[in-house]
A and B are shown apart, each in its own frame.
Chain A
Amino acid sequence: MLAKRIVPCLDVKEGKVVKGVQFRNHEIVGDIVPLAARYADEGADELVFYDITASAHDRVIDKSWVSRVAERIDIPFCVAGGIRTIEQAREKLAFGADKISINSPALTDPSLIERLQDEFGRQCIVIGIDSYYDHISDSYKVKQFTGDEAATKDTQWFTQDWVEEVQKRGCGEIVLNVMNQDGVRQGYDIEQLSMIRSLCDVPLIASGGAGTMAHFKDVFALAKVDAALAASVFHKGIIDIQALKRYLRDNQIAVRV
């Protein structure tokens, strides 16, 4: 049986791993390669690296750390941040990334998804979606350029519609980041994730809000997501990955222990 994946996320800024609260006030957590290696050795199933400044500041990530990570770790990892062209994507994959994740550039030019899929196959094309609950319209909507508070803007997309659109265009996986929950460790947004799950035929990764082991159990058992992404609970040592996996296994969640 396919195991549910635990995916530590490393937000990268200026070559360091950082973590903000609700996408703001970034603090340095540590160096990229040692932290990546530690998570891999502790039993993480996959890693995601987001260069959170790249899209907003119109520059691409420094690629050298991608190959340093690939040299060291023997689990898959995904690289995100400012990938707008086939060539930029090819470079990351050539340096050893298993997947590339596209967020803001796909909103600017949705045809990028098709072009990437034609070139590399859908299995390595991940679409990141920053979704928030809009109180005025009582609906979920998509934000763009969330890496920089000053550049962040609303889009015309309702989250459900964008999830359908990116699948139609050929993405292989979706990371749904629920911004209202991010970094505050109050639990994943089960209601929204369950709704998106019902529209999502590709693997779905939940992101935003993990604070306790029970939050992971709930998002797998209730929202039926394929993977759960989290950052601060791992960076700050609040949750140990091995202990989390044993807990999930004891709660009848299929995991690789």
Chain B
Amino acid sequence: MSPLESNKLTSDASIEGTTVIIDTGCANLSSVRYAFERLMSADERKKLSVTDDIAAIKAATRVVLPGVGTAGAAMASLRNKQLVEVIKSLSQPVLGVCLGMQMLTRLSNERGATTEDCQCLGLIPTDIEELDSKGLPLPHMGWNQITPSEHPIFDGISEGDYVYFVHSYRAPIGEFTIACAEHGEQFSAAIAKDNFIGLQFHPEKSATVGARMLKNFLNMSTDTFFQNNNSNQCEA
């Protein structure tokens, strides 16, 4: 995107309703919050909050599940805060970012210090496994190109646009893939099912391209997903 286009990001129609970033307790929450704030007017910022309050999460127009760290630690935090069932019950747009995306799946075999796979939220039926980089450096860290689908989160995003990745585990290409990328093997840069969207990369750190996706998310409501199709342009 050109700088001219990015300037439009803040001058679009106003953002409806409330946006809640779930306080997972162990994530880098500031970056995600700041990225949304950069897209908002002063009044709109008042309707953005970072919280683990169950009522506020349930009542939000849209919900963000951020995440940095390991799947096991993050899921343990959600359980401690009694948020697992709350997140599963949501029907409004939910955006999982990086580890937040991975938590939307069934399980992760990022074991960290434990000896068992990590059970996740099970909202998008795929599993997280280590990225097969075929000898390229891991973690997959830096700016890489994506091939997006027609999903509304990618409105205005083109094939070959660069976004910022930091991860060693990934969802494979599959039925719920809505964008793919390649680092050694091809993998899901984004997945979605119904109202749940997960981005493996960090839109909040992906300059104007990432800001556009966050803006797209802020324009979503429950209605967005009535006619959703996950057209997958990647080779399975």
Contacts and interface: CB of A to CB of B under 8 A. Distances in A.
B139 A226 contact: no
Interface residues of A, number: 36
Contacts of B90: none
28 contacts: A1-B144, A2-B143, A2-B144, A2-B183, A3-B142, A3-B143, A46-B142, A70-B30, A70-B34, A74-B38, A74-B207, A74-B208, A75-B205, A76-B164, A76-B205, A95-B30, A96-B28, A96-B34, A98-B166, A120-B69, A121-B70, A123-B68, A172-B139, A200-B137, A202-B138, A203-B142, A204-B137, A256-B143
Interface in A92-116: 93-98
Q: Is the interface of A mostly helix, strand, loop or mixed?
A: loop
B29 A256 contact: no
Interface in A59-96: 67, 70-71, 74-76, 93-96
B30 A122 contact: no
A5 interface: yes
B194 interface: no
B210 to A, nearest CB: 7
A7 to B, nearest CB: 10
Contacts of B210: 74
Interface string B159-170: 000101011100
A118 B137 contact: no
A51 interface: no
A173 interface: yes
B140 interface: yes
A40 B208 CA distance: 11
A58 to B, nearest CB: 27
Interface string B116-151: 000000000000000000001111111111000000
Contacts of A46: 142
Contacts of A67: 30
B113 interface: yes
Interface in A121-153: 121-124
B156 interface: no
Contact of B142 (A40, A45, A74): A45
A119 interface: yes
Given A2-B144, A98-B205, A71 B34 contact: yes
A74 B28 contact: no
A166 interface: no
Contacts of A124: 68, 166
A41 B37 CA distance: 18
B213 to A, nearest CB: 12
Contact of B28 (A3, A93, A122, A202): A93
Contact of B68 (A1, A121, A227): A121
A45 B202 CA distance: 13
B211 interface: yes
Contacts of A256: 143, 162
Interface string A160-191: 00000000000011000000000000000000
A227 B141 CA distance: 10
B30 A203 contact: no
Contact of A45 (B30, B31, B143): B143
- Greatest chain B CB density within 10 A among A2, A98, A204 is at A2
A98 B112 contact: no
A14 interface: no
B168 A96 contact: no
A225 to B, nearest CB: 10
Q: Which 7 A-B pairs have the closest CB atoms?
A: A96-B30, A256-B162, A3-B143, A123-B139, A256-B143, A123-B166, A76-B205
Given A1-B145, A95-B30, A74 B137 contact: no
A256 to B, nearest CB: 4
Interface string B14-32: 0000000000000011110
- Greatest chain A CB density within 10 A among B34, B35, B145, B167 is at B34
